[in-house]
Structure 1
């Protein structure tokens, strides 16, 4: 088994639909310019409330990008 090294990058995704969708948005966008994304960790979740209803989600996550050999 080879040893791996990862670089951590912090992202914040947003969505009016759900926190899960905010994570999906962040990962899909990041994967367009980053290679070797292997994991993510949610570090913060926020929401915008208007008139007593959730209007928007923001989720901050760290992603691990494997450094190529």
Structure 2
């Protein structure tokens, strides 16, 4: 039996949604081992001068903590 834990993180990027998700993974992997998946719950953009200035994601990172 596996036990998994989920943490919710917010990520942002000036480039794309994909890069924002990668930023979440990069930051999470600094302290979390054995990341299994990332579920993007919500996506947003901020707009400045009628142009997208930032891509934002609200993501849930799932990782293993114990396996029996």
* 1:27 aligned residue: 25
Unaligned runs of 5+ in 1: none
8 Å CA contact 2:4–2:66 kept in 1: the answer is no
8 Å CA contact 2:21–2:57 kept in 1: the answer is yes
Unaligned runs of 5+ in 2: none
2: CA distance between counterparts of 1:32 and 1:63? 13
- Higher share in strand: 2
Q: Mapping of 1:14-53 within 5 angstroms?
A: 14-53=12-51
2: CA distance between counterparts of 1:68 and 1:35? 11
CA RMSD of aligned residues (A): 0.9
Number of residue pairs matched by the alignment: 67
Moved over 6 A (4+): none
Normalised TM-score (structure 2): 0.92
